[in-house]
Chain A
Amino acid sequence: MEKSTRIAPPNSVVLVCDAGGGEIPTSMQGALISSTPSCIAIGCRAEDDGETDIALGAIEEVDPGTPSAFEGTLSTPTRKVVVRSVLGQTVLEAAVPSRNTRVRVWVNDQSEPDRVVVGFA
């Protein structure tokens, strides 16, 4: 089931990782999305300019039918994936079926999206 929230995340970035944590990317490297095998950092709308809609759910439920901005595999040893702020606040979470989770991310803008969709399988 899709879960969603609307927030202005600190530093205009959210992290997707296992509920037990992950290795946070050392840099965005000039891109909107940066990742390690255990954490995905996603840029959002500038926090002081407005909120960003963030959705989390199974790929087949949340796929908007457009090309994704990111696709990869995330280490999820606790079988629970979370969306967190850089301050560690969990804003969304969902159970996943395995310890290695395929993740796709869709955004509505390549530099400053106000809608971010995270799908898992």
Chain B
Amino acid sequence: MKKRVKRNDLLIHAVLIVILALTLTPFVFLLNNSLRTNFELDHAFFGIPTALGKRDWNTLFQSYRDAWQVLRPHIVNTLFVATVTATGVTLLGSLTAFVFSRYRFPGHRLLFMYVISFMMIPGILTLVPSFLLVKSLGLLNSYWVLILPGIAGGQVFAIFLFKSFFDGLPGELFESARMDGASHLRQYVSLVLPLSKQILSVVIVTNVLGTWNSFLWPLVTNSDAKYQTVSAGLFSLGSSALSVNHANLFAAYSLSAIPMLILFLYATKPFMSGLTSGAFKA
């Protein structure tokens, strides 16, 4: 029996490693080719960087230096927008969900339905009119045009997640806190938030990931490169002076992944267990 399990495991490892290799192949070639000149690329697609063979580190990483120059402001923009948006979504989302979950007041049901119904409105319907709206509000080419709609839209799903989580917390907890004289806001800050760490990390990570990947909205609302985020910036790079060298573009694509890689090193564990523990289980 033991031996069969082992053989079984070996087979699975073999299959998984092949699929994993196929999955990661584009990224391996990306890293390799980001260190090779146009001349090298055009003459032999497969091959290691010449500069690596010559131990010429200065030439080897030239593409990364060039790409970083161009990409840095976009990365800074994205970090700023992502931080503010995620903070807004988490604070507003959890506060609103807390009120809906713990208190009853006239219009309670109706207001909650109002909020949740926005989950049914697809982004494709509102892309163009949202653009017309922010244009007439004079918000084009600013951080606000990314942050405000980001919070408005992002909070809906957060409210839904938070409320179903808060609904599951035992009522006695709040009863005793109220007996101790804790105000509504106090209960929220010192009772609810510490209990919801896992769900908080799911909301934060999905939100930051959303901002990082968001591409169309930043592209159409910020024609000024000054406010452009990474994804939209990468798209514009293809037609810029930087793209004379393929290596520069490839280096830029690799660099764009680093901040998310760091986030993931820190947040994978709570994120994965949050996923497993029910946030996404239907």
The finding on whether chains A and B are genuine partners in a shared complex, rather than unrelated, reads no
